[in-house]
Structure 1
């Protein structure tokens, strides 16, 4: 089994099962394989653009159209754990009202038919205040967590009904809708950390999935109870890992 820099043996090959640190160094990109996405012009090396979700294998006229079967069927998964049975689903760029597409807004499915004129948005940022609290209480990973020098804010539109918060793991088949494994990585975040769910009325809840460092809300010191859904509201702040905060807002 692979071993991380701290001497932990791990069944996973990308992140340590014990401490969550990355295993090995990322291979250097092949300059010949890099190209520009024809949709948002960001560097892209694979089939799907990491910036806007453009599928290079589809014709230009249909590249940003949703494909059948993207949303997994929870009933078929047959798992009680809300993080189980997750499957990758293609993201598509959210339309920019000025024309074209805005690659910073990633939509993960059709908007819910809940009778509301607004949609929920998750705003992800590095939270210095939360980081200070984690260091003060000396959590499990506090001595290894470092606040990032630069972490561009990300916004994810919550189109759909469930959104896994965690870190992508190819070896375990975990593909979070809110992926916090993008560098710089918050090592305090578990692979399957928490789940945001949207009910038919458009109401939101957050459930901690038994993460190592827990999930807290709105600056509270005590984490929420694992495996128990807690209601969210406009302005709620979800704290995970060592410095990551996810603010929930509603937009027209």
Structure 2
């Protein structure tokens, strides 16, 4: 309790809450005393708490009921309820497991990229816009690429255009009839779709010479073959669990 220059005892330590006189060492009295804020319990030297803003000249606020399962926060320390900590940790682990299951429900897909002579013959017969300058490669080793969803871009890399396909068909010998951003796979657990992005020569499925509609997702099954460019075939395979 502070005392003002008029001799009044004051709860506030800067200005007397009886007469309003300033309390401080400039009047020859002791420096303001540090008290605990009745609202939040933080140390305070002035009338208004620097932590919560409570006016010390007013009656202290009524005590709030405490939830036994909650974590209590204090300016100087945090008191944890052990039971609540365990429950929160278990809930967090359950949420993490659920999120992981949603992203990876146990189904894995891979793509095998090959040079397909049958697709090349069909495209040559159609005389597409790029097929006059596309030659079938003398040697093209099969490539096996894991599919990491939810989206997988098929195309050819272009640093200048900022195109970085997940299935990059710019690897030599490159299929000149493949567009930069040719098609996209969408993977949702056990379901996969392919969407042609408006490519120049289109996207065909399973030995068909008829391109699928552009900008339309088409469902795929395990073992389906996606034909792009002049001779490239991508076989989508489901890996057993």
TM range (shorter): 0.5 to 0.7
Map Cα deviations across residues 90-132 of structure 1 (whole Å, 9 max, x no partner).
Answer: xxxxxxxxxxxxxxxxxxxx9974433x411100000001001
What's the CA shift for 1:222?
0.8
Q: Once the two structures are superposed, what CA deviation does each residue of 1:133-171 show, in whole Å capped at 9, x if it has no partner? A: 111111111111100000011011112211100000010
C-alpha distance in structure 2 between counterparts of 1:157 and 1:215, whole Å: 21
- Preserved contact between residue 112 and residue 202 of structure 1 (Cα < 8 Å): no
Aligned to 2:109: 120
State the alpha-carbon separation in 1 of the partners of residues 120 and 209 from structure 2: 12
Q: What's the secondary structure of 1:143's corresponding residue?
A: helix
Q: Which has the larger radius of gyration?
A: 2
Change (3 A) 1:175 1:136: same
What is the TM-score when the length of structure 2 is the normalising length?
A: 0.56
- Cα distance 1:147–1:115, how it changes in 2: closer, same or farther (>3 A)? same
2:129 aligns with one of 121, 140, 154: 140
Structure 2, unmatched stretches of 5+, are: 1-99
Equivalent in the alignment of 2:204 = 216
- Secondary structure, aligned partner of 1:121: strand
- Separation in 2, partners of 1:161, 1:115: 12
Aligned residue pairs total: 141
Q: Which whole-Å CA distance do the structure 2 matches of 1:224 and 1:194 have between them?
A: 11
Alignment-derived partner of residue 178 in structure 2: 189
CA separation of 1:112 and 1:153: change in aligned 2, threshold 3 A? farther
Could you say which structure has the higher helix fraction?
2
